[in-house]
Amino acid sequence: MTSSHAVFALLALILVGCPGPSCPARPFTDPAAALASYRDMRRPARVLRASARVDRRDAEGRIRGTVLMYIDRPDRVRFDAQTQFGPAAILTSDGESFALTDLQSNRFLYGPTCPSNIERMLGLRFASAEVTRLLLGESPRIEAESQEMRCEGGRYVVTLHSADGERQELELEVRDEDRDAPPDAQRMRLRRSEVFAPDGSLRWRVTYDDYRFVVDPRDDASPPRGVVIPYTVRFEDPRTGADTRVRFNDVELNVEVPAGVFEQTPRPGLTQERVGCD
């Protein structure tokens, strides 16, 4: 056997001897039960206070900066965009009313909370409740008429089908330590959520990475309990060319929320403009 043949034979043995991640010995078989179990694992994360680096690209160019944020389930959000010279923009929503202080154009926009207004800052065309879920490691979901699931490579793939032909895939990774655990004890991490149009084209994709454990300060158990949070969240929308990546720096869970955080009043000198939804 030549040296090159020996190398190929060794590589083949290595690949055969190192199989990929396996599915749980007792996997979920009901997609609704798998999604409900994952949702229940996320419930302890009620409030998030964090700083993050946001890199947003779209048809108008590229914007990068630091964003300070408050998120309070189910639908209250605040995002403060910072530059090296100070605040650049502040977006707030209390679930019903939206406000955006744009200090670069000296405008104060206000109106109802809706996806088109939330999109103005982050490039995420979702309702505030959906943005809250997305940044806490969950995903917006389509209205499903039917659903199915499979397990491959150690990950569950749940597929939702809507009445109008839309399709959504959610990929849930099972921790290696839980391969032998019963379904309701398997700890999962959402890795991907994609929605496809009836013609098969991609509507949007969210991917989640760099999960880290964050302690819940309300829990005095030993060892401390908490929730794993994805420190990198990427959103892509081929229809608009939007590609937004959020990388968290500091994350705190379930902190006390100061009064008035999710409301704004216009600063002196700003042009006020009421905006609707489209």
pLDDT at 87: 84
Q: Is residue 42 part of a domain?
A: yes
pLDDT at 108: 97
The alpha carbons of the chain give a radius of gyration, in whole angstroms, of: 22
Q: Is residue 15 part of a domain?
A: no
**pLDDT over 70, % of the chain:** 92
Domain count, the chain: 1
pLDDT at 119: 87
pLDDT digits (tens, 9 = 90+) for 129-140: 999 999 999 999
Round to whole Å and give the CA distance between 120 and 129: 16
pTM given for the model: 0.86
Q: Is residue 217 part of a domain?
A: yes
Q: Is residue 17 part of a domain?
A: no
| Range ranked top by mean pLDDT from 61-70, 80-89, 219-228 | 61-70
Q: Is residue 48 part of a domain?
A: yes
pLDDT at 14: 40
pLDDT digits (tens, 9 = 90+) for 100-159: 999 989 999 999 999 999 988 877 889 999 999 999 999 999 999 999 999 988 899 999
Which of the pair, 84 or 197, is modelled with greater confidence?
Answer: 197
Q: Is residue 13 part of a domain?
A: no
Q: Is residue 134 part of a domain?
A: yes
Residue-number span of the structural domain to which 110 is assigned: 22-268
Q: Is residue 49 part of a domain?
A: yes
CATH number of the domain bearing residue 117: 2.50.20.10
